Structure 1
């Protein structure tokens, strides 16, 4: 059963013009053709939002699948419970509903048959969230002739290059991030708690009519030894460090930033921060169209290697940004990554280092690749803030 879309006047939740989503879908379909696929089944929430406007969160329980086939309109397979939300917040005309989780494979398989894809090469986002091995195996059992191809990177490769409209969203998101960071810096004082500072940040961002990414790091003192630590009622005291990783959001476009503060003096983390700045600036200098993701990563690692403290850096140098901060399968600045940088790409480069005493400390920048190199989107300096 296909449920037709309703009046465009009820699409109040779709943030961009319909033409923007059609442009994105067409570019993805071109990539489908280049990959010699007959269709693409998109399930990652960030990619669904990029291609339809719908945020995809209704798929937390069972997969939502956007099926893209060259030469025909896209079809969205979703839970019946969420059909009205998909209509209100998305721009796909053809919606095929199912009621219970165990029905997804049967409904999707039936649709693939009707589209003539039961024995064709269909791309699946096997390396992303929101499609489980059980979903894939159930479809393969129902359609034994289906040729499932891993297309994890396909939508990400298109979404990596931002349109002017998307860059506007990234700049507006970064303005909110900068506001959050300035509030953090002004709020750090002796005996204030992490939760008090986070509440102050929320208040200021709310006053500005903005929103924050739902998961933020905010840690004081000994808790800077905790990766991805969320705010708790923990006080900061004199001669202790503080670090935040936070991102403003505009229509799903998140602009993350890492900033650090020392209340008084803390030589161990101050030394880490100095090295993180050197590595960050080396990575930024290496960014230009035509270089590989590996080369940018190597620039940061070489700066750290010269310090004779190579074990302080234990993660990738950065990653592609845009809709959905934590999507798997996106372009990554890491060793061996062969992806080539292009004008219009945006990256978050968090250089967070580990001290021998276990502290995590550092800074980051959010950059846009231009024909001249890297443009830093933040207006907040990445130098260490002393409170």
Structure 2
């Protein structure tokens, strides 16, 4: 069970708000508005520790004083208030009347809006109408940076997610057999994750041979002997997402599938080998891609065949991308997955990766699942 004791809650809440307000002071912000549309609720969860379901929500954090939460869904207001981190709540309507009243009372000179890029025009206009002389800036990076450094409490949640990842993958392997539709395989995994307490799960899959170029939602395709079945499964536990990337073969792996695994495993190891506090996402991606370049597969590292070489984890399932050109610094206590998932002509699209937390001396892999090319049925030692 999650530790929701008064002492743990108070310490975690104080840590988060102290971190956020320190960042606000550095940027000269009098007010922070953390916006959360229906598909991006990570900032609302970070500041309220409440699971909301409305189409839009906001948490207003003044430089001094108590925060206020707003949601388009009345039921969310009770959920947020009951959780106790933000006790003042109000309905969020298209005109933002309650929000504008509060902003007028605060009379800020400088307002930062996290996810300002996604803010509906009606709410953006409500803010500028309420405080027409205030400077309004994006604060997306402020909260991204604050959430990147995980507390002990957060790492405990993510270790729970890691255990559920491993259990989900074990179920995936256990039910693999010829003739099974992809959607049945995913349904079995989803049922296991929910049985273990997952709030949600993001999962992609692909099955087949060297013609497979990427993953999708499950289809009705029936698994065949010799198929390599690739997946990334990403359960959410108490708000925190974590991902495992693996591939398995229905039956015995071919020489090509084994060679593909060896290539991808070397790339994972190369990415992990450079992880330490202060490394950049760019440097991790370069380490992975250089393995492909070494063997003549560099063209498969670009946008034509792949998206990223990993990404951050936390209250959002797909945080800072591990990709060449992204010079975001990965500090101690950042959590992300190293996964060089891409297509090559060796055996088609391959999926392999482990989530890690950056430690003072390097990294810690958060899952215990073996990094091997799984085969089914697996031989049992005598």
Structure 1 residue 149, shift from structure 2 partner = 0.9
Match of 1:145 in 2: 133
Are 2:363 and 1:367 aligned?
no
Q: TM-score, normalised by structure 2?
A: 0.86
Structure 1 residue 271, shift from structure 2 partner = 4.1
Structure 1 residue 137, shift from structure 2 partner = 3.9
Are 2:170 and 1:179 aligned?
no
- 1:268–1:132 Cα change, 3 Å: farther
Structure 1 residue 357, shift from structure 2 partner = 9.0
Partner Cα separation in structure 1 for residue 187 and residue 16 of structure 2: 37
Partner Cα separation in structure 2 for residue 215 and residue 301 of structure 1: 25
Partner Cα separation in structure 2 for residue 214 and residue 312 of structure 1: 28
Match of 2:14 in 1: 22
* Aligned match for 1:116, one of 107, 122, 128: 107
Q: Mind listing any 5+ residue stretches in structure 1 that lack a counterpart?
A: 1-11
Match of 1:309 in 2: 297
Match of 1:318 in 2: 310
Match of 1:168 in 2: 156
SS of the aligned residue for 2:201 comes to: coil
CA contact (8 A) 1:193 1:236 kept: yes
What is the Cα-based RMSD across aligned positions, in Å? Answer: 2.7
How many residues are paired up? 363
Structure 1 residue 51, shift from structure 2 partner = 1.4
Q: Mind listing any 5+ residue stretches in structure 2 that lack a counterpart?
A: 377-382
Moved more, 173-182 or 309-318: 309-318
Partner Cα separation in structure 1 for residue 217 and residue 23 of structure 2: 39
Are 2:70 and 1:70 aligned?
no
Q: TM-score, normalised by structure 1?
A: 0.85
* Aligned match for 1:81, one of 54, 60, 74: 74
- 1:30–1:219 Cα change, 3 Å: same
* Aligned match for 1:261, one of 248, 252, 257: 248
Structure 1 residue 315, shift from structure 2 partner = 2.0
SS of the aligned residue for 2:324 comes to: coil
- 1:290–1:214 Cα change, 3 Å: closer
Structure 1 residue 134, shift from structure 2 partner = 4.5
Are 2:266 and 1:278 aligned?
yes
CA contact (8 A) 1:261 1:385 kept: yes
Structure 1 residue 116, shift from structure 2 partner = 1.3
Q: How does 1:186-265 map to 2 (within 5 A)?
A: 186-207=174-195, 209-211=196-198, 213-221=200-208, 225=212, 227-263=214-250, 264-265=252-253
SS of the aligned residue for 2:247 comes to: strand
SS of the aligned residue for 1:124 comes to: strand
